[in-house]
């Protein structure tokens, strides 16, 4: 076999191997996990957050999730940002003032509580992880600020579909796996586990959670949050909106970054054009 053939064969084998893990299925004790891709306004090259959706998502977070989960990376002033939920600053100020934060020490060396300000981060519902665990029977409700980035999904699409997906995402990649997971988790509860599966004490059956047994009881039910913009008060909508909100908390600079991408592209195009014109001039008299 000559050199070229051998190299070609080795390259082909290597690319097959590279594809293999992508088609692997989620392992573990529970049933096979399949997370559906969702459509998000902020996906892709030109993606932008949907302000109304982020506002609804924050409402769901505040009225439901905040009882157990913090978003410690979010400062109140972020909630008023134009590239975020964009709530009016006055109402965010009023909202912040309903929270208490610790400050100090004062002149007597004591720490004290005061109403939160725009510059404060949203206080966590717990003093520390131990307190959280003692409240939740040993389970720990993680801080959600970075959750959409901390989780990703394994792609279980068959290889021929996978190639199509890779081609579609070329240039930006697929970055919404964590958000898809949060949506799937919130909509993935089953009242009863499948026959033959025994739930441990205090556990709930969830199709999307690795191992299928999660300590978080289903937090959402239809009608639990009253939306003001006419969006139907359904678990699917709550889940989608709060997942989008958590995509923003995990990547608040997404819009700036994407518009910077366009500026860089424009810069490259102009540079290429100038180089081309320059080359033409320099070589114009060279033959």
32: nearest Cα among 150, 208, 185: 208
Residue 56 near ligand HEC by CB under 6 A: no
Q: How many Cα neighbours within 13 Å face the side chain of 102?
A: 7
CB of 112 to ligand HEC, least distance (A): 29
CB of 86 to ligand HEC, least distance (A): 21
Note the residue count of the chain.
Answer: 287
Residue 54 near ligand HEC by CB under 6 A: no
Residues 156-185 that bind ligand HEC (CB under 6 A): 182, 185
CB burial of 34-61 (b: ≥16 within 10 Å; e: otherwise) equals: ebebbebebbbeebebbbebbbbbbbbb
Return the residue nearest ligand HEC (CB atom): 65
Residue 65 near ligand HEC by CB under 6 A: yes
CB of 64 to ligand HEC, least distance (A): 4
Q: Rounded CA gap, 59 and 254, in Å? A: 21
Q: Rounded CA gap, 114 and 136, in Å? A: 28
Residues 74-133 that bind ligand HEC (CB under 6 A): none
The one among 70, 141, 178, 188 contacting ligand HEC by CB under 6 A: 141
Residue 71 near ligand HEC by CB under 6 A: no
CB of 15 to ligand HEC, least distance (A): 32
Q: Rounded CA gap, 113 and 180, in Å? A: 38
Nearer to ligand HEC, 199 or 264 (CB): 199
Q: How many residues bind ligand HEC (CB under 6 A)?
A: 23
Part of the chain binding ligand HEC (CB under 6 A), chosen from 16-24, 67-75, 221-229, 269-277: 67-75
Most distant CA atoms of the chain, gap in Å: 87
Distant-in-sequence, close-in-space partners of 20: CB < 8 Å, separation ≥ 6: none
Q: Rounded CA gap, 82 and 51, in Å? A: 8
Nearer to ligand HEC, 134 or 259 (CB): 134
Question: Could you list the residues that contact ligand HEC (CB under 6 A)?
Answer: 60, 64-65, 67-69, 136, 139-142, 144, 147, 151, 182, 185-186, 214-216, 219-220, 242
């Amino acid at each position: 076999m000559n050199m070229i053939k051998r190299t070609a064969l080795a390259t082909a084998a290597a690319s097959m191997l590279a594809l293999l893990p992508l088609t692997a299925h989620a392992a573990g004790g529970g049933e096979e996990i399949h997370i559906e891709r969702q459509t998000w306004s902020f996906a892709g090259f030109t993606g932008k957050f949907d302000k109304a959706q982020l506002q609804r998502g924050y409402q769901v977070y505040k009225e439901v999730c905040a009882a157990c989960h913090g978003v410690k990376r979010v400062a109140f002033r972020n909630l008023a940002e134009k590239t975020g939920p964009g709530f009016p600053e006055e109402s965010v100020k009023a909202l912040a003032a309903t929270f208490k934060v610790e400050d100090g020490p004062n002149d007597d060396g004591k720490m004290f509580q005061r109403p939160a300000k725009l510059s404060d981060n949203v206080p966590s519902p717990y003093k520390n992880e131990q307190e959280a665990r003692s409240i939740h029977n040993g389970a720990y409700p993680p801080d959600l600020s970075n959750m959409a980035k901390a989780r990703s999904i394994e792609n279980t699409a068959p290889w021929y579909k996978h190639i199509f997906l890779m081609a579609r995402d070329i240039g930006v990649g697929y970055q919404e796996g964590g958000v898809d997971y949060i949506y799937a988790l919130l909509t993935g509860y089953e009242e009863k586990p499948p026959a033959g599966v025994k739930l441990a004490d205090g556990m709930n059956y969830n199709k999307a959670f690795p191992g299928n047994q999660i300590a978080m009881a289903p937090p959402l039910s239809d009608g639990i949050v009253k939306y003001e913009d006419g969006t139907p008060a359904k678990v699917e909508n709550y889940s989608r909106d709060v997942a989008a909100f958590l995509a923003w908390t995990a990547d608040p600079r997404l819009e700036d970054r994407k518009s910077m991408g366009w500026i860089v592209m424009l810069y490259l195009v102009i540079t290429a054009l100038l180089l081309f014109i320059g080359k033409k001039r320099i070589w114009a008299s060279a033959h």
